[in-house]
Structure 1
Amino acid sequence: MIKFLHICTATLIILCAINNQAWAASEEIQVYMDEINAPKQFGLDIHTNFVMSGNRTPDYPGAQAPGRVFRITPEFSYGLTPNWELGAYILMSHAASENSTVDGEKIRLKFLATKASDQGFFWGANLEIGRVAYRIDENPWNAELKGMFGYRGDRWTVATNPNIGWKISGPVESPSSFHLDSKIAYKTDHDLEVGLESYNEFGPIHHMGHLDQQSQTVFAVVDFNVRGWDLNLGIGRGLTSASDRWVAKAIINVPF
């Protein structure tokens, strides 16, 4: 019950904060690694990002242009077994010229293969299904299957997520697409991890290529812990004309 009250309190704080922001990238800018809740354990991550410099022109009539949009997405999670975790997201955003909005909901099911305590290599998968508002996507229902592969050593961490996304329902033709997220980080003597994360779109699976016409973004990131709160902070630079030019992001893991 105490854990549940903590989750509710954190959510109320988020909702109050977004309504007072004067201020888009994806709702979740993260490379999935080997974290998973223990059975019957609750979790809460707060994903935020702000497009400091990006396109101000909507992709289609009624769409939300990404430039100067602040997104905040609480991600709730619950450990089902040592290998399986259930999660849910609430997507919210605020643009300078608009009111704060709830943009949709998503659920996910994560699997992480069992590994020995001294084993560095890990692998798993994450399936996500969600419904979003028209201003976010012309097709309301979409899904994504994310692979999770990597190595975590005493100093170095390397991980990659090959992702396939597809439309479940909607009026607009939308072929399945592929993108690849990766991370490399180094842990310093002060338990501070510094590294790079890259988020790369490859386009439709049946016609991949032309990377200069797809979003390609690299983030400089730091990961650290403050009194039990795990933080991931990053500044991203878009490398193509299809990318947001500058994006700031933060992921806050709320301890229970």
Structure 2
Amino acid sequence: FELAGYLVTAYVPDVGPRIAGARIRPRFRLPESWQLPFKVSISTEVGFNKRSFEANTVTLEIRPIIEKELGKWYLSFNPDFSKSLRGIDSHRGFEFEPGMKVSYAVSKKLEPGIEYYAATGPVTHFESLHDQHHLIFPTVDINAGADWELNFGVGRGLTGTSERWVIKWIVGYRFSF
């Protein structure tokens, strides 16, 4: 079991950095003793967004996570199902937002990779490709110790409706209880 909390930040031109919201995410993993050919977990994230940054102020994500390590290679597929619980899109059903990651450990400290994220629309009827969001991120994971998670990437939108550029930066610390 894992429990994470996030602060979502945004840089506003002529204003500076701002807190755009917060997230809480419990994650449950299937036991490794089951000896599956890959790791399986499910993450359920509830987001609380400031209206000035997001029209949907409360959101839910249900994200199965399928992971595999092959030597120095790491592969992950995350078929995310998202829903607005409060806001302009709360009348809509679940949306499909897949994510994938491939990385390679060049050393014990450094793992460059590629991450892909998309928002394809309602699970019952995907939007046209022109209206979907697709982003690709060259990334790097830095192993700064057993309890630290450091990830950085610069993403580029691949469709006209995608954000043109996105900087992603994760700094995480595991607390032991």
TM category (shorter chain) comes to 0.7 to 0.9
- Written as runs of structure 1 = structure 2, the 5 A alignment for 1:96-115 is 96-98=13-15, 100-115=17-32
Tell me what 2:139 maps to.
221
Give, in angstroms, the shift of residue 101 of structure 1.
3.6
TM-score normalised by structure 2 residue count: 0.83
* Higher alpha-carbon Rg: 1
Aligned residues: 173
Which residue does the alignment assign to 1:231? Answer: 150
From 179, 186, 199, give the equivalent of 2:117: 199
Superposition pairs for residues 90-239 of structure 1, below 5 Å? 90-98=7-15, 100-116=17-33, 121-172=38-89, 173-189=91-107, 191-226=109-144, 229-239=148-158
Larger RCO (CA under 8 A, 6+ residues apart): 1
Query: What is the CA distance between 1:158 and its match in structure 2?
Result: 0.6
Gaps in structure 2 of 5+ consecutive residues: none
Q: Distance in 1 between matches of 2:153 and 2:8?
A: 20
- The TM-score with structure 1 as length reference comes to 0.59
Residue aligning to 1:250: 169
What code does the residue aligned with 1:107 have? Answer: I
Structure 1 vs Structure 2 CA RMSD? 2.6
Answer yes or no: is the 8 Å Cα contact 2:80–2:98 preserved in 1. yes
Q: Could you tell me the percent identity over the aligned residues?
A: 28
Whole-Å separation in 2 of the counterparts to 1:154 and 1:143:
34
Q: What is the match of residue 25 of structure 1?
A: none
The 8 Å contact of residues 12 and 18 in structure 2, kept in 1 or not, is answered as: no
Classify 1:222/1:170 alpha carbon distance in 2 versus 1 (closer, same or farther; 3 Å): closer
Contact 2:108 2:143 in 1 (8 A): no
Residues in 1 aligned to 2:108 and 2:48: alpha-carbon distance in whole angstroms: 41
Corresponding position of 1:58:
none
Q: What's the CA shift for 1:120?
A: 6.1
Which 5+ residue runs of structure 1 have no aligned equivalent?
Answer: 1-83
Distance, in Å, in 2 between the alignment partners of 1:119 and 1:192 is: 27
Contact 1:103 1:136 in 2 (8 A): yes
Paired with 2:4 and 2:20, the residues of 1 have a C-alpha distance of: 17
Which range is displaced more, 238-247 or 155-164?
238-247
Give 3-state SS (helix, strand or coil) of 2:32's partner.
Answer: coil
Q: Distance in 1 between matches of 2:52 and 2:81?
A: 22
What is the CA deviation profile of residues 180-203 of structure 1, one whole-angstrom value per residue up to 9, with x for unaligned ones? 000111222555222211001111
Q: Which amino acid aligns with 1:88?
A: G
Contact 1:145 1:163 in 2 (8 A): yes
CA distance in 1, matches of 2:171, 2:41: 22
Work out the CA distance in 2 between the residues paired with 1:124 and 1:199: 18
1:48 aligns with none
Whole-Å Cα distance in 2 between the matches of residues 183 and 235 of structure 1? Answer: 14
The structure that is strand-richer by fraction is: 2
Is the CA contact (8 Å cut-off) linking 1:167 and 1:174 kept in structure 2? Answer: yes
Tell me: CA distance 1:147–1:253, structure 2 relative to 1, closer, same or farther (3 Å): same
Amino acid at match of 1:90: L
